[in-house]
Amino acid sequence: QVQLVESGGGVVQSGGSLRLSCATSGFTFRSYNMHWVRQAPGKGLEWVAFVWHDEHDKWYADSVKGRFTISRDNSKNTLFLQMNSLRPEDTAMYYCAKDNTAWAFDYWGQGTLVTVSS
């Protein structure tokens, strides 16, 4: 079965950096595009970033452009999110999600919590 397991969250000071990982299994990772989606405490979902299966292009929400970098290692079936210049408003649960090739997110991890203190 498809599994996505995020890790790397924690508490960081404003201006700091974190690197999130998402280990995947149960599907051919190298064939699928992937996303990061976040949810601030008590708030709604926000799409963050997208990477093509072969990394030939990456797309970002305006709110994180220039600060976050999405990447992947197809040899290790793992997705990453490098987060720099973190702000308190980046505090959220971060989910990795598999793209279903129809602009939807068909499998999600359980999330990893990032807290940015001011």
Partner 1 sequence: QSALTQPPSASGSPGQSVTISCTGTSSDVGGYNHVSWYQQHPGKAPRLIIYEVIRRPSGVPDRFSGSKSGNTASLIVSGLQAEDEADYYCNSQAGTSSWVFGGGTKLTVL
- Residue ranges in contact with partner 1 by CB under 8 A: 35, 37, 44-47, 50, 59, 61-62, 95, 100, 102-111
How many Cα neighbours within 13 Å face the side chain of 42? 1
Q: Considering beta carbons, is residue 35 or 72 the nearer one to partner 1? A: 35
Least distance between partner 1 and beta carbon 91 (Å): 17
Q: What are the backbone angles phi and psi of residue 31, rounded to the nearest 5°?
A: -95, -5
Least distance between partner 1 and beta carbon 36 (Å): 11
Least distance between partner 1 and beta carbon 68 (Å): 14
Q: Considering beta carbons, is residue 12 or 45 the nearer one to partner 1? A: 45
98 token code pair:
């598999």
Euclidean distance between CA atoms 49 and 62, whole angstroms: 10
Query: What pairs with residue 59 in β-bridges?
Result: 50
Q: Considering beta carbons, is residue 68 or 95 the nearer one to partner 1? A: 95
Q: Considering beta carbons, is residue 32 or 59 the nearer one to partner 1? A: 59
Give me the amino acid identity at 55. Answer: E
Euclidean distance between CA atoms 53 and 10, whole angstroms: 28
